[in-house]
Structure 1
């Protein structure tokens, strides 16, 4: 019976350190299984803003008279804001880098190690500081009755400032500003790699590329892909692009894609890819242009009799692609007789 009482007293004397350890491990589990839950966000605030500074300052000053209660509270927040970036800076020089998993593991280990150090030092302190949670204990913990009017006013201002800071940071974290919205548009070689593009063909020989699209616009988007065979030159005297030939190539398509998040942690995976095989029936140096339009595509003028859109209003599409005002990709192809 005496051993149980003694064990219970030890647990009660170190409830704060044990709570930090358990809550840190709980956060790890929540991030693993419920990464978007409210509990994870609320606990994550304490994990970053309070736990590291608290276990550090209480293990450094285990005796009651070394710091008053308000100083311990303020230093817990202040040191947390200093410790977390320092851990991130140290991780930046390791193979793991500044990513979620290394930061989570590092802070968890930090909290556990300094909690154990704090328990060890508190056991050997001559007058250990142990936080209590009752209303009367809270009043004594804040030393409210013994404080002067000025101290009480400063205490209220500090508490309000801390709560306002926590509330503001919590709002920013739970209501993040939408990230940059964009669309990935790319072409790959026939093996699905950024290599071995069909840039040297014979007349009539087939070449194959992979067209890829990923929607990071935050909404469903219908994409229209146009493919043009173009022969153009740059006039240095007038600093203008001159389009000599412009033929639509077969294989135009449209696809509606849902938005997908940008994955910066795991391996990149495509959202939509399609093989595209083409051939060119005229020798020379050509450019195959892939134009991407969102939600609707521009109307084309009537098709010329010879199928060549050079000299029509359709030239504007290629000129805008050259200037970067239309999302586009270009493949230079030399065609031998």
Structure 2
């Protein structure tokens, strides 16, 4: 007599389809749809990324490995020679789901760069959703082939009833609290890593001057010039925003008193459009208008698109500066 065979009709199989695995499959597909439909920085996109990366793949894998429920102590001792799929209870499933998910995600991250799709948000979400759904369906088959008396069934009502009457209720409740705490802590950590990524990337602004060998070096900018002279400087803008971006660079002379800007003079403006992951450098000659004996700050301000009516270091997307003293 073969173990775990089933003569379920097609309708019966659908009726006995595990609700938890159905929810896991639908949740994975829904998460993939949201990730690919909503823009970077969307709170909803970040929210669905957490279970897709942290819980759903591991839970689906656990369903494949452990289709049976936990065997009671009396049952285990009374039938020592009986062979059946080893089972685990709900707290163990939840805890192992987090652990296995954290194992699956790095494997996906390592494998994707070697594929034609590459490693990015969409391909990662697609891979995790596909793995989750595939494992969940295998888990369904495994459960339906397990005898009903041994089969794991997700039932919150039964769990609550068990907590009320079982002698090990305190231990079970403690396990659930521990699993929840682990999930929240790991989820917060994952959000911490994902939040900067979902913010849309970054732009970088840098200034360079030429050294004695003619090489561009940060910090090698003249700090003392005579009246009427200009300062040669190279402005570098790097686009890592994840998309083509329009920039405006404003070069501004600022006179400061007690740390506050009391006078601003615009010395130049540069407009450019950069594709993602590209850098543009531009050589400029900055001619301060300050009088002899004055020290002014030359601020270079980077804006996305058109700058505001009064550009400042505070309202710029990125800013950098150097000091110049006018003297004979």
**Structure 1 counterpart of 2:153:** 130
User: 1:107-135 CA distances to partner (integer Å, 9 max, x unpaired)?
Assistant: 111011111101111110122112124xx
- 112 and 38 in structure 1: CA distance in 2 versus 1, 3 angstrom threshold: same
Provide the aligned C-alpha RMSD in A. 4.6
Asked whether the 8 Å contact 1:225–1:290 carries over to 2, the reply is no
Work out which of the residue numbers 182, 201, 204 in structure 1 matches 2:204.
Answer: 182
**Structure 2 counterpart of 1:148:** 168
Structure 1 position 78, deviation (Å): 0.7
Q: Are 1:268 and 2:273 an aligned pair? A: no
Distance 2:22 2:42 in 1: 24
Unaligned runs of 5+ residues in structure 1 are: 187-210, 227-251, 274-288, 304-311, 318-324, 328-337
**Structure 2 counterpart of 1:52:** 57
**Structure 1 counterpart of 2:20:** 16
Distance 2:194 2:69 in 1: 37
User: 1:173-201 CA distances to partner (integer Å, 9 max, x unpaired)?
Assistant: 67549766523899xxxxxxxxxxxxxxx
**Structure 1 counterpart of 2:108:** 87
Structure 1 position 93, deviation (Å): 3.2
Work out which of the residue numbers 72, 85, 95 in structure 1 matches 2:93.
Answer: 72
Asked whether the 8 Å contact 1:222–1:255 carries over to 2, the reply is yes
Alignment TM-score, normalising by the size of structure 1: 0.53
Alignment TM-score, normalising by the size of structure 2: 0.54
Structure 1 position 302, deviation (Å): 7.0
Work out which of the residue numbers 245, 259, 283 in structure 2 matches 1:290.
Answer: 283
Q: Are 1:254 and 2:281 an aligned pair? A: no
**Structure 2 counterpart of 1:203:** none
Work out which of the residue numbers 159, 173, 192 in structure 2 matches 1:172.
Answer: 192
- 214 and 93 in structure 1: CA distance in 2 versus 1, 3 angstrom threshold: closer
User: 1:79-131 CA distances to partner (integer Å, 9 max, x unpaired)?
Assistant: 10111111211223334332222212211110111111011111101221121
Asked whether the 8 Å contact 2:163–2:169 carries over to 1, the reply is no
**Structure 2 counterpart of 1:32:** 36
- 106 and 271 in structure 1: CA distance in 2 versus 1, 3 angstrom threshold: same
Q: Give the secondary structure class of the aligned counterpart of 1:128.
A: coil
User: 1:133-192 CA distances to partner (integer Å, 9 max, x unpaired)?
Assistant: 4xx32325x756424376257425513522431452365267549766523899xxxxxx
- 212 and 19 in structure 1: CA distance in 2 versus 1, 3 angstrom threshold: same
Matches within 5 A, 1:201-216: none
Structure 1 position 33, deviation (Å): 2.0
The number of aligned residues is 229
